[in-house]
Amino acid sequence: MFENLIVSIDNGIAVVTINREKALNALNTATMLELRRFFAEDALKITGLKGVVITGAGEKAFVAGADITEFKSLNAAEGAAFARQGQGVFFLIEHFSKPVVAAVNGFALGGGCELAMACHLRVAGEKAKFGQPEVNLGIIPGYGGTQRLIQYIGKTKAAELLMTADIIGAIEAHELGLVNYVVPLGEEVSKAKELIEKIAMKAPVAISKIIDSINAYFDKETDGFEAELRAFGECCDTEDFREGAAAFVEKRKPEFKGK
């Protein structure tokens, strides 16, 4: 059981709801530990898992940020350790072997925007707002925001948003490439599920290798091309590849088993 997360399973899709509506779903330490536990332990035990949707309770916020009261008195060393723990949780999400989709139903600010960016895909409600307003508090993003925002929207615009603390709406976020889809309010989770269902029709091992290969591009210690060819080779040795190739030749739909 969780205190700050609600986890429901629907047809192989886990919907994880950050359930701190009165605090606009701010990420306190307890919530971060629960996210770590879910992705490192609980999710791995779900039979037939197709993917995970992360959303926020209520209509106002996906996650409005981190809990400032927990780090306002930290010194330099403590602050770095605090950020490292948060980055570790988000790396778990980013490297999860099944697709993780953020269903952004309101404010995604600070740590909330960073959480959304750690997911593989993002669906935004039409009233969603995105931003990294940390400089207003005299700090910077600490959970990977300075790095992932550049990856998604480029250095120039990322620098502007990070330094001005401007908040952008769902349409602009989509135009910039930060989100995949903008949907009417209340349809965020259903669209996220639709994406996962579509991906679930593909070869599971290949999907996990796609995730690995994409992440390798941004890992400075990894040659992305080498990572890709190794993953390609590993896919060639799977039952799914043999089934996919046979189905193509026989002009039928493949029946993948994730092996």
Q: Is 183 in a helix, a strand, or coil?
A: strand
Is 34 an annotated catalytic residue?
no
**Cβ contact 62:55 at 8 Å:** yes
Is 114 an annotated catalytic residue?
yes
Which of 114, 187, 234, 239 is labelled catalytic?
114
Tell me which H or E stretch contains 53: strand 51-56
Phi, psi of 121 (to 5 degrees): -140, 160
Q: Provide the sign of the torsion angle of the four alpha carbons 137, 88, 151, 180, taken in this order.
A: negative
**CA 27 – CA 204 distance, rounded (Å):** 31
Q: What residue type is assigned to position 119 of the chain?
A: C
**Cβ contact 5:63 at 8 Å:** no
Which of 41, 59, 78, 134 is labelled catalytic?
134
Q: Any idea which residues carry the catalytic annotation?
A: 114, 134
